[in-house]
Every structure is written in C-alpha cells, then in structure tokens.
C-alpha cells in the first residue's frame, strides 16, 4: 500500500451466504488503498469470485460492513448503485461481451451509458482499441475474435470510462502465457495512471511479474495471513508482494 | 419526462441504442395482436359513440314532443275541439309549435292497416295534434295538459317519452356495453404488452446484465424496450384503425340503404372520427406505460 493513500475499498467482518447454505465468505476484513495493485489468490471455490461480486456491487453481503469511495454500500439505496458502478471497471471471467455488437460498440458502451456525447466517443474508443492492440479488429463481432482478443476488448471496455478501481476475475484464465503477460502489462499501465487494480487469479506465477503488487489470499471463504495461517483480517499495511 | 427516461438516455433512441436489441422491426406477434385488439376496440368505441349521439337525439325528441288525440264519433264536435285545443295551446309558454295533423295525412298513415278510401267510409278517426316544446321547457307539458283537459276531458295525451323510453334504455345499456368492451380490449392489450416485455427481458438477459454492470440505470434499460414496444403498438394500432374504419364505412353504407329513420339516426359525426383516430395514440401511450412499469418492476427485483 502506498503510504498515506486513502482506502478505496474497506471490508469489515463481511460474511456472504447464498440462500440457506454455508457461508461462502466469513469474517472478511481488509482494505484496498487507492492507486495500489492487488492480486486476490486462492484455490478454486475459495470465494474469490464472490468477493469480487461484492466489490462490483452485483451482490450485497449477508453481514458486515463494506465501504467504497468513503460510503457504506451495504445500505446504499438501489437508485444510487448505477453511479457507483460507473466508478468501477469490471473484467469478467467469461468476458460478457454483447455478442451482437462489434468490438468498437462494446468498448463504446460505458461512455454512452455515462452520457458522453456521440461526437466525443470515437477518439477514446479508437485510442483504447490501439492500446489493447485491436485497431484492425474494431468492427469484428466477439464470436469472430479469439479468447485473448475478447479478453482485451473486455479490458478496454472496463477501463475506457477511467474507473477508480478495476476488478478483474481470472483475466488470464483463457489466454496463453504470452498473452497473460501482455494483459498484466495493460493493468500495470492503467495502475500507473492511478487506477486501483484488483486481479483475482489462481495462477501464482503471475504475482512476481508485478513487483509492487500486494496479495490477498482466500481459502474456504476466509482470508489467510502471510504465514499461511487463517486470519480474519489482512494487515492494512501489508508488505508489497506479500503472498499468503 | 420520466416516461422517456432521464439524463443521458438520448443515445438509446439513436442507431447505436437500437443495435443493443438486435431483432428486426415488427418482429414477433405483438404488433398483430395489438392490431386485432385495436380493430375490435375501434369498432366497440364507434358503436358506443354512434349510440351516444343517437341517444342524445332521442332524449331531446322524447322530452320535447307530445301527441294529443281527440276521439269523438261526431266529426263536427271533434274538429271544433281540435281547433280550440290548437288555439289554446299555441299561446302557452314553453310551446315551440302546435300542428294539427291533417285528415289526409292520417289516412295515409293508416292506409297500410285499414286500406285506401278511409275518408269515404264512416270509420271514426281521431283528430291528432302534435305539440313541440321549447328546449329546456319544464312546465309546458303540465300547462298543455290542463288546457286540453279543460276543452276535452276525454282527449288522450301521448308523450313520446312513453314509447321511446324502452328504446332509450336499450341504447344506454348498449353504450355501457361498448364502453366496457373498450376497457376490456385496452386491458387485454396492456397485458399483451406486459407479456411481450417480460419475454423481451428474458431474451436480452445478457445485455441487461452487462448494461447494469456498466452503470445503466433502470430507466435507461426500460427506455430501450419501451421504444421498441411503442413502435410495435403504434403500427398495430394504425392497422387496427384502418381495418375498423373500412368496416365502419361499409356498415354505414348498408345502414343508409335501409332507409329507416331510427337506424339512420345512428351515425358518426366528424368529432367521433377524431376520437377514434386518437385511439391508436392512446394505445401506444398505454403500451409504453405498461412496458416501462413491467420492466422497471422486474429490474427492481435485481440489485
């Protein structure tokens, strides 16, 4: 965490239970500093995706407190949620591109949702296409793009609105190692512009490639401390690169 | 205006917004279902309006006319009484006109039942006097009755209301029925829109989820669908109106050929046509409201 940086996300004793089942997340407490880079790791079923769903406001917790951008989002009125979501960029594991729209249209969507005038859309979308190396595929539909290309379109769509935090769920899960490296490079470039990055991955080889990244480990719905022992709370000032 | 969304929704009605829902224009059965509903609704509304205008004419006729019959076998005495009644009633307040129906006219009226040559035989025929009251006259009938009784106590006074009342009651009932049918059709059309909106929500689940995650408000998403549904409803409404107008013109032509005064009084003035022409627009507005409510309520169940 960068010294003195404000927390953009704060979890306090958060629990999440789907229906009447067991808790998917239990007593999760941590905070994310603005402008920092985090990896969220853990085995399959550890609760990574559930935790991300709480952050990108697809789900409310069963208990506990979540603050984002300085406000309590657990009790946030539903009408205010769209405004918060526009400050969060999300890269889904399954991309969730709209299949009947071109790469260009998919990337332009957040700007249009945000009310940007049509005349001001073309330039940033083309810059973004160039940034992710897809200038030549602007009008291709998702079905005609490779997995890596779709992933890059999804990333471009997530960041074009300059979100304050980018949440990516297994963004390298469908791409080869070379493409994974390129995607991480994109995330680092965005992070340098001040966006907080949270990347959920079970690929531990990625972590050392971002030298200033911090790691949050989940196991069976609980945070795991740096020593590997279960911990209910990640130290607020974890050392950069600390992996559980 | 809340119905058309708020703030940054303009692009939703642009080509870019239309591409979010990829179906072609007028896809699915909804426009045709709306056309059938509108066809029936316009026919029911036209019937209701025509009966309304007919009833209005009937009301004024019923409340403003009586017929006085003087039955006396002695023709001289009968004619004298009739003349005195005409003179007495003509000067009363609230009277618009008094007219004695001539013997030739009566003979003509009775000819289908009694045959020609009525004037040549001895069959006594009553003297008849039509009295018309001024519109809004309240005491004309009572004053006329008093004057008639003073001259000829056995004279019979027939208020047209007596025999037109059952017909007026029937017309009133039919008008109510037409109104109820219009409301039922409108309700059925609204439910059709609700079903279509729900089906559209299911079909475009992925798009809606993505839009939500990108920060779209419920109003923005609803606007996408209500625009499509409004287009379908307007098309269906206009088709229904055109078909119904054709039927109304055809039936009207047939009615005119019947040549009956009573049936002929059932007509549609220009103002009624104006009201009928508004029905597709009202239907479109109803469809937009129904679609918006359905979609917003469905979206509210999600986070």
pLDDT in tens, chain A (244 residues): 444 458 899 999 999 998 888 889 999 999 999 999 999 999 888 899 999 999 999 999 999 999 999 999 999 999 999 999 999 999 998 889 999 999 999 999 999 988 888 889 999 999 999 988 899 999 999 999 988 899 899 999 999 988 999 999 988 877 778 878 888 888 998 899 899 999 998 888 888 888 889 999 999 889 986 545 555 455 444 433 333 3
B296 touches A: beta carbon within 8 Å? no
Per CB-CB distance under 8 Å, the chain B contacts of A161 are: 214
Q: Which of residues 139-178 of A touch B (CB under 8 A)?
A: 157, 161
Q: How far apart are CA B194 and CA B289, in angstroms?
A: 10
Which chain A residues touch B217 with a CB distance below 8 Å? 79, 82
Same domain, B50 and B185: yes
Mutate to test the interface with B, among A106, A107, A112, A163 (most CBs of B within 10 A): A112
How many CB pairs below 8 A link A and B? 66
Residues of chain B positioned with their CB less than 8 A from the CB of A110: 214-215
Output the average pLDDT for chain B.
83
In a domain, B159, yes or no: no
Contact with chain A for residue B216, Cβ under 8 A: yes
Q: Is residue B267 part of a domain?
A: yes
* pLDDT value of residue B34: 92
The yes-or-no verdict on residue B220 having pLDDT over 60 is yes
- CB atoms B7 and A115 under 8 Å: yes
Residue B2 has pLDDT above 80, yes or no: no
* Subunit contact A58:B14, Cβ cutoff 8 A: no
| C-beta separation of B98 from B64 below 8 A | no
Residues of chain A numbered 70-109 and touching chain B (CB < 8 Å): 78-79, 81-86, 90, 92, 96-101, 105, 108-109
Express each pLDDT in B9-65 by its tens digit.
566 667 777 778 776 566 778 889 999 999 999 999 999 988 888 777 776 666 678
Minimal Cβ distance to B8: which of A56, A96, A115: A115
In a shared domain, residues B147 and B179: no
CB spacing of A78 vs B303 below 8 angstroms: yes
Q: Is B67 inside a domain boundary?
A: no
- Same domain? For B116 and B219 the reply is no
Looking at the fold, whether B190 and B225 belong to one and the same domain comes out as yes
Structure confidence at residue B62 (pLDDT): 65
Which pLDDT band holds residue B143 (cuts at 50, 70, 90)?
confident
CA-based nearest distance B192→chain A, Å:
27
The residue out of B154, B182, B200 marking a domain boundary is B154
pTM, two decimals, is 0.71
In this structure, is residue B66 part of a structural domain? no
Which residues constitute the domain of residue B113? 72-154
Q: Could you tell me if B32 and B99 lie in one domain?
A: no
Residue in A101, A114, A116 closest to B19 by CB: A101
Whether residue B5 is predicted with pLDDT greater than 60 in this model: the reply is no
B275 occurs within a structural domain:
yes
Domain boundary among B90, B119, B154: B154
Give the three-state DSSP class for A196. Answer: strand
Q: Distance, in angstroms, between A157 CA and closest chain B CA?
A: 9
Q: How far is B212 from chain A (nearest CA, A)?
A: 7
Instruction: Tell me, yes or no, if B23 comes closer than 8 A to chain A by beta carbon.
Output: no
Which of A91-95, B226-230, B264-268 has the least mean pLDDT?
Answer: B264-268
End residue of a domain, out of B131, B154, B177 = B154
* Burial environment of residue B93 by CB neighbours within 10 A (0 to 12, 13 to 18, 19 or more): exposed
Q: Does residue B36 belong to any structural domain of this protein?
A: yes
Q: Are residues B50 and B107 in the same domain?
A: no
Does residue B238 share a domain with residue B89? Answer: no
Contacts of A78 in chain B (CB under 8 A): 300, 303
How many Å lie between the alpha carbon of A3 and the closest alpha carbon of chain B? 31
Judge if B183 and B35 occupy the same domain: yes
CB contact under 8 A, A118 and B206: no
- Contact list in A for residue B7 (CB cut-off 8 A) is 115
Q: Which of A142, A99, A138, A137 has its CA nearest to residue A121? A: A138
- Examine the domain organization and report whether B53 and B175 are in the same domain: yes
Residue B114 lies in a domain: yes
Q: Does residue B1 surpass a pLDDT of 80?
A: no
Chain-chain contact of A85 with B8 (C-beta, under 8 angstroms): no
Nearest residue of chain A to residue B22 (CA atoms): A100
* Secondary structure, 3-state, chain B: CHHHCCCCCHHHHCHHHHCCCCCCCCCCCHHHHHHHHHHHHHHHHHHHHHHHHHHHHHHHHHHHEEEEEECCCCHHHHHHHHHHHHHHHHCCCCEEEEEEECHHHHHHHHHHHHCCCHHHCCCCCCEEEEEEECCCCCCHHHHHHHHHHHHCCCCEEEEHHHHHHHHHHHHHHHHHHHHHHHHHHHHHHHHHHHHHHHHHHHHCHHHHHHHHHCCCCHHHHHHHHHHHHHHHHHHHHHHHHHHHHHHHHHHHHHHHHHCCHHHHCCCCCHHHHHHHHHHHHHHHHHHHHHHHHHHHHHHHCCC
Interface test with B, best of A109, A118, A153, A154 (most B CBs within 10 A): A109
Q: Are residues B266 and B225 in the same domain?
A: yes
Nearest to B303 among A58, A92, A100 (CB): A58
Q: Tell me, yes or no, whether B242 and B136 share the same domain.
A: no
Total domain count, chain B: 2
Query: Within this chain, do residues B175 and B33 fall inside the same structural domain, yes or no?
Result: yes
Report the candidate in A70, A59, A64 with the shortest Cα–Cα distance to residue A34: A70
Cβ–Cβ contact B301 with A under 8 A: no
* Per-residue pLDDT at B120: 62
B42 falls within a domain: yes
Shortest CA distance from A84: residue in chain B: B215
* Interchain proximity A58–B207, CB inside 8 Å: no
Nearest to A113 among B206, B215, B300 (CB): B215
């Amino acid at each position: 965490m960068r010294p003195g940086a404000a927390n953009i996300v704060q979890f306090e004793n958060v629990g999440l239970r789907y229906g009447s089942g067991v808790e998917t997340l239990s007593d999760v407490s941590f905070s994310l500093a603005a402008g920092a880079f985090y990896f969220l790791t853990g085995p399959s079923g550890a609760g990574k995706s559930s935790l991300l769903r709480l952050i990108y406001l697809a789900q409310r917790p069963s208990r506990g407190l979540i603050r984002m951008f300085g406000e309590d989002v657990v009790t946030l009125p539903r009408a205010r949620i769209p405004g918060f979501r526009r400050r969060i960029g999300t890269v889904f594991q399954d991309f969730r591109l709209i299949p009947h729209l071109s790469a260009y249209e998919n990337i332009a969507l957040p700007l249009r949702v945000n009310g940007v005038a049509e005349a001001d859309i073309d330039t940033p979308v083309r810059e973004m296409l160039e940034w992710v190396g897809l200038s030549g595929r602007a009008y291709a539909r998702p079905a005609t793009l490779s997995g890596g290309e779709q992933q890059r379109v999804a990333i471009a769509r997530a960041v074009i609105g300059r979100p304050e935090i980018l949440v990516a769920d297994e963004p390298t899960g469908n791409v080869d190692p070379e493409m994974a490296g390129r995607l991480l490079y994109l995330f680092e470039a965005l992070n340098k512009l001040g966006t907080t990055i949270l990347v959920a991955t079970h690929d531990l080889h990625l972590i050392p490639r971002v030298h200033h990244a911090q790691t949050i480990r989940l196991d069976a719905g609980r945070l795991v401390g740096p020593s590997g022992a279960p911990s209910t709370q990640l130290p607020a000032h974890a050392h950069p690169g600390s992996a559980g | 205006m809340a119905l058309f969304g708020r703030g940054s929704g303009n692009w939703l009605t642009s080509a870019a917004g239309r591409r979010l829902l990829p179906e072609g224009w007028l896809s699915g059965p909804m426009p045709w279902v709306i056309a059938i509903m509108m066809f029936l609704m316009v026919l029911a509304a036209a019937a209701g309006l025509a009966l309304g205008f007919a009833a209005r004419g009937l009301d004024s006729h019923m409340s403003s006319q009586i017929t006085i019959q003087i039955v006396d076998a002695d023709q001289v005495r009968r004619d004298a009484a009739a003349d005195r009644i005409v003179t007495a009633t003509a000067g009363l307040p609230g009277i618009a006109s008094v007219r004695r129906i001539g013997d030739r006219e009566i003979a003509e009226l009775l000819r289908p039942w009694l045959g020609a040559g009525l004037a040549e035989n001895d069959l006594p025929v009553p003297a008849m006097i039509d009295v018309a009251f001024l519109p809004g006259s309240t005491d004309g009938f009572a004053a006329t009755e008093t004057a008639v009784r003073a001259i000829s106590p056995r004279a019979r006074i027939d208020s047209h209301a007596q025999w037109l009342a059952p017909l007026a009651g029937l017309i009133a009932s039919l008008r109510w029925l037409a109104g109820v049918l219009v409301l039922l059709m409108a309700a059925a059309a609204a439910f059709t829109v609700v079903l279509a909106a729900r089906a559209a929500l299911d079909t475009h689940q992925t798009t809606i989820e993505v839009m939500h995650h990108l920060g779209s408000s419920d109003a923005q998403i609803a606007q996408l669908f209500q625009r499509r549904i409004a287009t379908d409803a307007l098309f269906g409404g206009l088709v229904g109106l055109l078909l119904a107008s054709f039927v109304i013109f055809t039936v009207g032509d047939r009615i005119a050929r019947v040549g009956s005064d009573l049936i002929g009084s059932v007509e549609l003035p220009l103002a009624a046509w104006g009201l009928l022409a508004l029905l597709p627009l009202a239907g479109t507005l109803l469809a937009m409201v129904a679609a918006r409510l359905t979609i917003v309520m469905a979206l509210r169940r999600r986070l």
